[in-house]
Amino acid sequence: MSRDGGALALSPEDIVAAKASAAASAVALIEPGMLVGLGTGSTAALAIEALAQRAAAGLNIRCVATSLASDALARQRGLDVIAFDDVAAVDLAIDGADKVDPQLRAIKGAGGAFLREKIVARAAARMICIVDSTKRVAALGKRPVPVEVLPFARSFVGRAIAQLGGSAVLRDGMSDQGNIILDCQWQVLSDLAGLDRQLSDVPGLVGHGLFLSEIDELHVGGSSGVEIVKRA
């Protein structure tokens, strides 16, 4: 690990290879007939590509997507994507993360899809998080926690974040739901469960990127293959 508790650096090419190996490791666990939750981001996109290859070779599965981008990619690659509203349960969700700690708690949302990602992860019987080894940290906190906010409540939520000791920066663009995203930074992030509850309690704040309990299994691609860590 590096001095800030993160993994040692990989070259950009090594990072892509590590993401691809983590994605392949998770996709290998998909069985015929499964309903698969497709995550969002560059690592999740590699999983979609790997899954499309398996489907083209005869694997019969259906998918739900966590973003318009993943929906479009999956359909373009020939996967059978159905509306999440039409499914009762997801068998396996596969998604990336921005940072993951040793308790499999993560910060997600650099791609802005964390609201749908959390819904699909909670609907899934099993959620596998796929990352390259640079995403592992000893403790979450250095990276901002994104929150999705109804545009109507932007100032109200900004003041609520300040009252919780955080500082919020408005991200460019909007979510797939047409909401805004604030990237919120705290000096110290120690009580993650408390912050989860406090954020969830703010009216107008419709979701946040702390994933404290959703990840069942972590597949970490690195220079020496894929390490699999299961939630205790």
Q: Which residues bind ligand 5RP (CB under 6 A)?
A: 39-44, 95-98, 108-114, 117
Rank residues 31 and 43 by Cβ distance to ligand 5RP and give the closer one: 43
Nearest to 94 by CA among 29, 39, 57: 39
Q: What are phi and psi of 96, to 5 degrees?
A: -90, -170
Total residue length of the chain:
232
Tokens 């390490």 sit on residue: 227
Q: Which residues pair with 167 in a beta bridge?
A: 185
Measured CA angle at 143 (ends 138, 145), to 5 deg: 115
- Residue 90 half-sphere exposure toward CB, CA atoms < 13 A: 27
Q: Which residues are identified as catalytic?
A: 117
User: Smaller CB distance to ligand 5RP: residue 163 or 200?
Assistant: 200
- What's the closest the beta carbon of residue 133 comes to ligand 5RP, in angstroms? 12
Nearest to ligand 5RP of 119, 165 (CB atom): 119
CB of 45 to ligand 5RP, least distance (A): 8
State the minimum distance, in angstroms, from the CB of residue 48 to ligand 5RP: 11
Residue 223: other Cβ atoms inside 10 A: 13
Choice between 95 and 183, CB closer to ligand 5RP: 95
CB of 47 to ligand 5RP, least distance (A): 9
